Amino acid sequence: MGYVMRRTILPFLPLFLAALLAAGCGSAGPVPDSGTTGDAEPRPASSSPSRSLGQSFEEDVQLARTLTERFWQGRFEAAGRAYRPIQAFEAYSGEDGPACGDQPAVPDNAFYCPIGHFVAYDEAWMRKLYENGGDGAVYVIVPHELGHAVQAQLMSDFTLNVQRELQADCYAGGALAGMIQAGEIEAEPGDDEELLANLAAAGDPTDEWLRPDAHGTPAQRQQSFADGFNNGVDAC
């Protein structure tokens, strides 16, 4: 269940982001907007993570893990269930990462492993995304992988892998919105661009939804994240 960053960027993304940024960003913790734009493109709220609370890559990674798990713990408790935190959150380098059963870790990836209930990520890869594209990468990837941990606890069943991956994107958007509503994350101009660009870059180049490793096209991944952000995890 890896994240798999790709390099496909939607041609409409610059115009889409300009429309989002024109709406303005709140200074701290506003309630996310709901719905979509007039042309039905995904529209996450105009506030997302800033470095107000995380001042470095290491801090933002740990913050994304801590706040995402705190969000899910609250959701589980509200439903009368017990959330089980992941057993490990491990950084690795290249091919020198933990195996998940008989599958070895691969470079340039992050993944959740149900065998051992842990999340691992290629530190140099994610640090490069952070340095080149901003902290939005961390607040997409980490909540996405923890979304898979939630699926495992809920024993969610999927016919296709792409369904699993898009729901994890939706969970990530919902968790991020929950952090903002709780006042745990502040916003700064440009955060929307970081989030959407990272989602677009992680999309599959074609809509081959039967592939066992399909994650969804850039548009599908952006839409799923926006659905969770705007409507909450119950919409996922």
Rg of the chain on CA atoms, in Å: 16
Q: Can you tell me the distance from the alpha carbon of 101 to that of 203, in angstroms, rounded to the nearest whole number?
A: 26
Q: What percent of the chain has pLDDT over 70?
A: 72
Q: pLDDT tens, 91-135?
A: 999 989 999 999 999 999 999 999 999 999 999 999 999 998 788
Structure tokens at 35: 């719905």
Single-letter amino acid, residue 49: P
Tell me the CA distances in angstroms from 163 to 157, 211, 212, one per residue in order. Answer: 9, 11, 11
pTM: 0.78
Spacing of C-alpha 178 from chain mean position: 13
Dmax over CA atoms of the chain, in Å, equals 48
Q: Can you tell me the distance from the alpha carbon of 197 to that of 179, in angstroms, rounded to the nearest whole number?
A: 20
- 154, 93 Cβ separation under 8 angstroms: no
Q: pLDDT tens, 177-187?
A: 999 999 888 76
Mean pLDDT of the chain: 78
Q: Where are the domains of the chain?
A: 13-18+42-235
State the distance between the two ends of the chain, measured CA to CA, in whole angstroms.
Answer: 18
Q: What is the pLDDT of residue 33?
A: 31
Question: Is residue 18 predicted with pLDDT exceeding 80?
Answer: no
